[in-house]
């Protein structure tokens, strides 16, 4: 009997990937806090997660059918990267990054990433026990 890792691990690998990509975007926002004209971006996690779940249920995977095709990569955001509405008035340089908001979102995302990682770790421990290993 074969083990399907997609079924065994569920959506947790997708959640980790989306949270990782969100961390990159939030870090980019912080890094560009002083860049004139930079607009803060974020991912709609719920929408990206929904897209990842439906993709997993359909079993859709990108396949390169020709060597000249670009590698699809592992972006899970599915076009749900959005510009954030600014919380502060324009300072004159067109930058919409509020560093305090970005730091708070980054910390929250980090905690959620750790939670997803713990869920995934629990899944691996369960698989290890099911296969007769030491857990």
The whole-model pTM stands at 0.74
User: Residue 91 in 3-state DSSP?
Assistant: coil
Question: SS3 of 87, please?
Answer: coil
The Cα 65–Cα 67 span in angstroms is: 7
Q: What does the pLDDT read at residue 78?
A: 55
CB–CB of 22/44 below 8 Å? no
pLDDT mean over 27-56: 88
pLDDT in tens, 54-111: 766 655 455 556 666 655 444 445 557 888 777 777 778 888 899 999 999 999 999 9
Whole-number Cα distances in Å, 53 to 5, 8, 49, 65, 135: 14, 14, 6, 24, 28
The DSSP bridge partners found for residue 82 are: 42
Assign 10 a pLDDT band (cuts: 50, 70, 90): confident
CB 19 within 8 A of CB 116: yes
Q: What pLDDT, on a 0 to 100 scale, did the predictor assign at position 42?
A: 94
pLDDT score of 13: 86
Residues 6 or more apart whose CB falls under 8 angstroms from that of 105 comprise: 26, 42
Backbone angles phi, psi at 82, to 5 degrees: -125, 160
Tell me the two tokens of residue 30. 């912080």
Q: How confident is the model at residue 38 (pLDDT cuts 50, 70, 90)?
A: very high
Chain mean pLDDT for the chain: 81
- Asked whether the beta carbons of 27 and 42 are under 8 A apart, the reply is no
């Amino acid at each position: 009997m074969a083990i399907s890792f997609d079924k065994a691990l569920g959506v947790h690998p997708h959640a980790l990937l989306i949270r990782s990509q969100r961390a990159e975007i939030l870090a980019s926002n912080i890094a560009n806090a002083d860049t004139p004209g930079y607009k803060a971006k974020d991912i709609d996690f719920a929408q990206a997660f929904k897209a990842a779940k439906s993709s997993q249920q359909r079993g859709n995977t990108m396949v390169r059918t020709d060597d000249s095709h670009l590698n699809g990569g592992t972006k899970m955001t599915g076009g749900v990267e959005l510009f954030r509405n600014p919380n502060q008035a324009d300072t004159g340089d067109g930058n919409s990054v509020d560093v305090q908001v970005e730091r708070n979102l980054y910390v929250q995302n980090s905690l959620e990433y750790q939670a997803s990682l713990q869920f995934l770790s629990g899944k691996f421990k369960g698989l290890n026990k099911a296969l007769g290993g030491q857990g």
